[in-house]
Amino acid sequence: MIIPKTREEIELMRESALIVSKTLGMLASEVKPGVTTLHLDKLAEEYIRDHGAEPGFLGLYDFPNSLCMSPNDQVVHGFPTDVPLKEGDIISIDCGALKNGFYGDHAYTFEVGEIDPETKKLLDVTKESLYVGIAQFKAGNRVGDVGYAIQQHCEQYGYGIVRELVGHGLGSKMHEAPDMPNYGRRGRGKKFIEGMVVAIEPMVNMGTHRIKQHRDGWTITTRDNKPSAHFEHDVALIDGKPQLLSTFKYIYDSLGIESNEEQPFRTSEVIL
């Protein structure tokens, strides 16, 4: 059952989302060749706790860390390790925070030094598809409309949309109804309702959509070992329209990137 949130609850959720956004912003300047993902995990845990929140993933379904760290061909749910990042890697960092009883949960795929143009294109298209999907999260639409839009956008480049892992409702639980697949059919699935909050998170592979689940029970890689990208935002349905609770602004500030991609999904009252 979809649990809609009151305006007050949505403001609390925005607070949790912004802690995650700032954590990713802090990490943006730390992601570089030679750094281990375990080190980044420690930094993130400290930062989240310093901001009065709990790491949202630590202990969730027995996950042992604060961040999911998925380099290169890892899709999602990778563990932080003591293997240093190297020039040309990509690293998907998924972060959660729990504050005031509500979760924030979003993700960004970072470039480590210079990456090759083909991989850069994968990142660009995956991020574009996130906003293409968010635009369909509006009154009158259904779950399938978001998935359809994301799938169409990515498949035109020959990319594979992961089927086994999906976005989700978000609230006092990390994973609430409804499931939000990144593929689907227009006009199908649950109807969106005012006040609902979802995490929309395309997981897009450069090659096949097929994946391998590793024996550790967590790590998931692409079947063909080509790279995979992951971008995620938390979005509330307010006055029939999608409104972002999370932001990549802190990442862009740190990396010196100019972007107005979030503009259509943000009201002027929200000051970041």
Q: Which residues bind Mg ion (CB under 5 A)?
A: 94, 105, 107, 199, 232
- The nearer residue to Mg ion, 97 or 149, going by C-beta atoms, is 97
Maximal C-alpha separation, the chain: 48
Least distance in angstroms from the C-beta of 95 to Mg ion = 7
Residue 55 burial (CB count, 10 A): 24
- The nearer residue to Mg ion, 129 or 263, going by C-beta atoms, is 129
Cβ atoms 113, 88 nearer than 8 A:
yes
Q: How far is the C-alpha of 35 from the C-alpha of 30, rounded, in Å?
A: 8
Least distance in angstroms from the C-beta of 200 to Mg ion = 9
Least distance in angstroms from the C-beta of 258 to Mg ion = 26
Least distance in angstroms from the C-beta of 124 to Mg ion = 20
Beta strands 241-244 and 233-238, pairing class:
antiparallel
CA angle 47, 114, 92 (to 5 degrees): 40
- The nearer residue to Mg ion, 63 or 192, going by C-beta atoms, is 63
- The nearer residue to Mg ion, 10 or 69, going by C-beta atoms, is 69
Least distance in angstroms from the C-beta of 22 to Mg ion = 16
Q: How far is the C-alpha of 229 from the C-alpha of 91, rounded, in Å?
A: 8
DSSP 84: B
Residue that is written with structure tokens 């240093």 in the block:
84
- The nearer residue to Mg ion, 199 or 236, going by C-beta atoms, is 199
- 111: closest CA among 100, 102, 103, 119? 119
Least distance in angstroms from the C-beta of 52 to Mg ion = 20
Cα end-to-end span (Å), the chain? 32
- The nearer residue to Mg ion, 57 or 84, going by C-beta atoms, is 57
